[in-house]
């Protein structure tokens, strides 16, 4: 069955159609090879960067994200792991690792905001 996929790689937002036939992905409507690869991945193993916040009592919420996309099917599991974080080091910098290899995805959860001082 054909499915419509709008490319999110660049602002041109090409409207593509993709169909899996005998294990191969047929893509039409792409403006470049990056978009074609995006459509293929969306059909076979869609991935997303997880963004969220870590809330620790007495501190401002810390924006976090994965340092690379994770399988879409693992996103809910990752969010549950993020919700379990109850402690943070006193001084954090953007890019510091909060959780390594979150949910076995190979991606690290990192701080997406800058320095935190005085417990905030
Ligand atoms: S297919 Fe290529 S040109 Fe079209 S939106 Fe995607 S990245 Fe941009």
Closest residue to atom 3 of ligand 1, CA basis: 31
- Residue 90, pLDDT score: 79
**Mean pLDDT calculated for residue range 52-80:** 93
Report the CATH number of the 51-111 domain: 3.10.530.10
Contacts of 19 (CB under 8 A, 6+ apart): 1, 2, 3, 25, 26
Domain ranges of the chain: 3-44, 51-111
Nearest ligand 1 atom to alpha carbon 16 = 1
The binding-site residues of ligand 1, defined as CB within 6 angstroms of any ligand atom, are: 7, 9-10, 12-14, 30-32, 34-35
Ligand 1 centroid, distance to 91 Cα (angstroms): 40
CA-wise closest residue to 52 among 64, 69, 60: 64
Q: Which atom of ligand 1 is nearest to the CA of 33?
A: 2
Instruction: State what percent of residues in the chain have pLDDT above 90.
Output: 79
Burial class of residue 104 (count of CB atoms within 10 Å of its CB; 0-12, 13-18, 19+): exposed
Neighbours of 37 (CB within 10 A): 14
The predicted model scores a pTM of 0.79
């Amino acid at each position: 069955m054909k499915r419509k996929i709008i490319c999110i790689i660049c602002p041109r937002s090409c409207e593509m159609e993709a169909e899996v036939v005998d294990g191969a992905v047929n893509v039409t409507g792409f403006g470049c090879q990056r978009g074609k690869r995006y459509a293929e991945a969306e059909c076979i193993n869609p991935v997303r960067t997880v963004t969220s916040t870590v809330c620790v009592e007495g501190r401002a919420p810390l924006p976090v994200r994965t340092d690379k996309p994770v399988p879409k099917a693992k996103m809910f599991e990752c969010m549950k792991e993020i919700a379990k974080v109850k402690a943070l080091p006193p001084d954090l910098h953007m890019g510091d690792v909060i959780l390594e290899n979150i949910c076995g995805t190979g991606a690290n959860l990192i701080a997406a905001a800058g320095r935190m001082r005085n417990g905030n």
